[in-house]
Structure 1
Amino acid sequence: MQMFSQVKKKLALQLALNTAAVTLIIAGIISTISIHSNISTLKTRQQQIVSSIIASTLPSFNLATFNYNIRLNQQLAEGLVSHPNIISAIVIDSTGMQLAQAVEATECQPSTLDMMIFSEPGIHIEALSYNNTPLGKLIIELDRCQSIAELSSLTRSTLFNALLFSLLLATFIYAAFYRAVTSPLTRLVRQITGLTADNLDKVDLTRMQSRRQNELGQLMNQFAALLSLLKDHIHQQRKAEATINDYSAKLEELIHKRTHALTHLNRRLQQSSDDHSGSTSSLQTRLSTLTQLLKEPMDQLIGKLSNTDQADARAMAANIRGLLHDLRTLQNSSSQQELKLVDIHRIVTDCLAEIPADMADIHCHCGEADLLLLNRSSLRLLILSLLSNAIIHCRQGPLTLSVRYEAQRLLISLAGQDLFINDTLLEQDLMPLCPENLPLPSAFGLGLSRELARISGGDLHYESQPDGGTVLLCHIRCQPLAKLLPEIRKHLRQHPLNIAIQDKQCRTQILHWAEQWQLPQSAEGMNSKHTLLLTDQPELSSRHGEHSILLQPQGTGEITDDECYSASGLLTALLEQTDPDHAAPPRTLRVLLVDDNTINRMLCQRYLKNLNIEPDTADNGLQAIEHARHNRYDLILMDCQMPVMDGFEATRQIRRNSLNSQTPIIALTGLTGENERQQCLTAGMNDFIGKPFTQDQIQATLVQWINNYYGSASD
């Protein structure tokens, strides 16, 4: 009874029902064939009976009709009707006159199906003759009701037997399958129900093993062995977590100490340079601080990890070193001193060589391009980060890398049918430092890659492909040598180049470039005020003034491997003489600080000044709206509780102002519960900082939000 009480939950029931259905179909086909055979047999037997009756009575009818004995014909006809298969008999002479007739009444009402089955005519006509003399006809009508009744009985018996056979077979299969499969599986499921990583240690795994020698027993034994391996893995994972937590605690302590020391040093430097008017960009501040904060604790952590015997730990240490190097490259990506004349084909080839061959199948297409003036380190980092991200998010299928120059832009595309990118990945700064990502040459996420592209005068986005997958599209600003030389020649026609270099080898090198680039040279003395002096002598350059270029020795250039001075450095110096705004610094960030508390406002203002930002200030929401109506800000720090107008209403009105409708607004509040956070987001604020706040929190907010705003503003 227990088996049938749980039959709805058993796998055996499904097999039994399927078996019963198949058996019923087969039995139905066999029954149909059997019924058709029975119909043919009934018809044949009925025909034989009628033929036998006619053969035995026809001579009597012939003699009675020849003698014109009507009474005898009537008696013979009534005798035929008394047979159960005949319901009427009629005798007519050769003239068509009826001599005898006998009819047996029937109560049978054949259905349409019965009429279709017995569709042949039920009337038999036999000729009467005597000594070859035609005498008339004998007409007999057969009774179909008896055949229909017999066929119905045979059909019911056949169908009942088929149904009974199907049920017996399904019941047998259910019982056999329940005993062989369902019962042991149910016992196994009952044993593992409620099993978690926390209580796995308390379970006796030997009870899950089976003594069966069949496949099911082997499956149960393999499952028990798998649970045993999982149990051991959990023990090892807990030990690893304890080790990582210990490392994390030490790392947090080191970062905390370093942060306090850096903050104190930053304040001292700021107090000594209050009159300094220079400022750095938001991303430079973000990367510089991030690199300095992470360098010392990361070096210590790398040292600890490198001393272990684990290959993953050593690879992780190397990956962290590479990440710090990439952060420094990104920090210096906007420097004009990093501009080089580069060969795109060589850069792409070097980047592809750093990709492990077993991680991706990459097809490369490089268009024809002249030497380009751009930041070589930034371009290399950008291509490597794009390839690394594409490999992570395209675990199978080939990738197609295309690099070409068009209209003072270097266009980079990376496509694949199995490559899928979304907006969340486009905001990710760093990829996870997990073991499977360690062989990749860059840990930059698409967020920092996009920042790198924007610093280089371009952008990064993705598009969906019609045939599936996505394509990463990136472009950066660059200038080919053929486009730069006409501007330089035009400037040198008014200020010809005067070369005064003592080093003979380097002088030969510079003269070779001047002839190759067709640069106008001066035939006047080096004291002429109208010439552009190119020299390696500091005293001579100082006397000549601003119309001079002092060559600085370089180790190795980008065009050849044996040059004393960099061709790209010389070209950059000539461009700066041609266009003084060639290396103009980025604009100063604008921040609006809104707080009615004077102490909080002065403290936050000091923090921002430490980060080289001079904010505009307001005492209430109404003043904030007035500021936002006339100025476009990169970030707004908004207090929530203020007189005249609170921060929530001020935010709602600023959002309706198109000038700052997309500006990040960060709430400054002493209430940090979930309800208060939701209220800030509902009003239109992007995030919030709890009071009291520190300079690190302000700096982290700048790092998180201002770069995103620059990206949208540049579009």
Structure 2
Amino acid sequence: MQGQTDKASQFNPMDIPFTQRLSYKQTRLTVIVAFMLGTLLSLIQVGFDYLSQNASIDREIRALLQISHNPAARITYNIDAELAQELALGLLNSPAVIHAELIDNSGLTLASVSRPPLQSGYRVFSDFLFGKQRRFADPLSVSHAPEESLGVLVLEVDTYAFGSHFLERAWLTLVTGFVRSLLLSLILLVLFNAMLTRPLVKLIADLSERNPRQVEQQPLTCPAAHVDDEIGVLVKVTNRQLHSVAQENAQRREAEDQLTRHLAELEDRVNARTAELKASNERLSQSNLELQQARAEALHTAQARAAFLASMSHEIRTPLNGLLGMLNLARENPLDEQQRQQLDIAQESGKVLMELLNDILDLSKFEAGQLELEQIAFDPAALAEETTRLLSPNCHAQVQLTCLIDTQLPALCLGDPKRVRQIISNLLSNALKFTRSGRVDLRLRSSQHGLLIEVEDTGIGISEEAQARLFQPFTQAAAGIAREYGGTGLGLALCKRLCEAMQGTLQVSSQVNQGSRFSAWLPLTSLSGPANWPALSGLVLLTSSASSGLGEQLRQWLPYFGLQLRFIDATELQAPQPDAALLICQHVEEALAMRQHSQLPVLLLGDFAAQLDTRQSSELAPLQQALLPLTRHTLYQALQQSLNQTGNADSHPHSSGKTSAPFSGKVLLVEDNRVNQMVAQGMLGKLGCSVSLAEDGLKALERLENEDFDLVLMDCNMPLLDGYQTTRRIRQQPRWQGLPIIALTANALPEERKRCQAAGMDDYLAKPFRREDLAALLQQWLPKAGASD
């Protein structure tokens, strides 16, 4: 059996196909290269021949014209038609000329002869290369008057007479090149077979007859004349490998015997290990089942939480919208001071509740990975000043709140202004809450590749232990903080996550009873340079301390406005100040005392409307007032008016004196809640809109059928036909395709906006909304009234 196997395993070199043999491959490669090179050289030769032939056509015809020039000139000079005919017939004897014509200087044809061109199947190649015909014209003149034209000799040449010879030569060149390549391939095939294939075939045959299982192997015999070339080296290497194989076979037999013994031992170990693995697999399967159950419970919990948040958002925002809306409307009615104070307190409480709800929803968006950041242009300085002004009522009487804007801060940045405002508002609210006296400073300045926001206070401070858990949700520095100061512990956690979402950082440094500093760095792209203000001039005297927040603010911005600043006290003012143009004071008594020594114009900083009587106002005249905390625009306008310098401050892009004009248009309000109906109707009426009401989607469709509207405010959750279905039905009608539809919903989660857009709504307004929010939407979707305020 083994002998049969060995015989079957022997390899016959003649079994190699001819096209797979080395000699054929070597020959094929050589011939291909030689054929390509020969063809290229032949083509080059044909190309040179073509250029030479093409030039010779013109050369020969020009020579013929030169020979015929003098006879033709004499004929045209003598106007001899008979000789002209003979000359033309003579030129026609040339095999290339198919038309000859002799014309005198008056345009009279003295002779004209023609014959048909040659016809051939190869003519198309000649015409392609040399053109079908060529026309030559020789102006005639005599030697003693070369400028005088006697006529013209015209020849038309059939290029095939020349092209046929070129084609014959080109064909012969290509055929001989091919024959040379064929002969070369046959010669090389024979040589390569004798020198390469035969020795290798003999070597393969000898090698295939060997039995690799034999321990002793006879060395291979090297073919004659190949001892020192590659074949000889191959034989030496093969003999060395055969010897190594024989040794390895002997070692392998010994190793097989040892392996057999080890396999028996291993089999026993495997059986024991298999029993252990079976038990482990059973435990792992049980663990996987428990994990799957836990995952299902977690998904169910997440879905339940999302549903709860959506329901909570809707159920809380709906009555809150009615509460805040009615409070806003009530505050616009005639009220006494006590009633207005009560309504203000109720409205502030509603805003606090609204901010708490928004914080909880934002925190849920972070946990669900649904937070979406906008990328729009905004003014960071104006945003910070507005936030400071809105939070200033939360400031204690003994606390000085200051907004310090770097003069080199870019006027426009690219980012999410809503989230930047949220960071500033939370940090500033936190500082005001825990500071009962001293200073709270908000600083904005540009840093490397971004915006740096710093809030520094002189409050109660934070211990190092409490700083470690400061940014955890629902966590405060100490157990008694919530009882004494209030709060939920969400603000700083949201700030931290908002900074991280913007690829920024939030850091804190604090000492107990000395204050805290929160630093937020946001990588916002700058879109412009610093803001430009029309320059003012003059020397301003300031009685405030240079180390106070107000002093630092004025020391920073007055020189930027072009003014000089000098800090003085009452004793210094007793001396003449001839170069001074304005006096700035922070206290009424201080201003009255200063006025006894100087008649400079006075700028009072603070809310003194209730403190100044008629006498004091007359004593301080000329007098200007500016509310604290100061903004750049407020400060600039007050300085400008005090110094009587006519700059155009309102033209500055940060001017806050703009008022929205009333709107015109007919609005369909689709709302089922009576309180929300009253709120929306009241706000729309104040904004100048005509309002029609529909309690559900079906009535809204009926209203649209019978009346024309400019805009639809659509509540999303209604009986009978909700806002989504109603909007889809409206969009199915071609005449209502361009009608703006704004969603009114108490669900403030991100997927709600996408759901409204999918239904066909154009915009989205979350409840509760302010009149300013509604006016912004009307500004976009409704035309303004023709008259302005």
Normalised-by-shorter TM-score class: 0.3 to 0.5
TM-score, with length taken from structure 2: 0.31
TM-score, with length taken from structure 1: 0.34
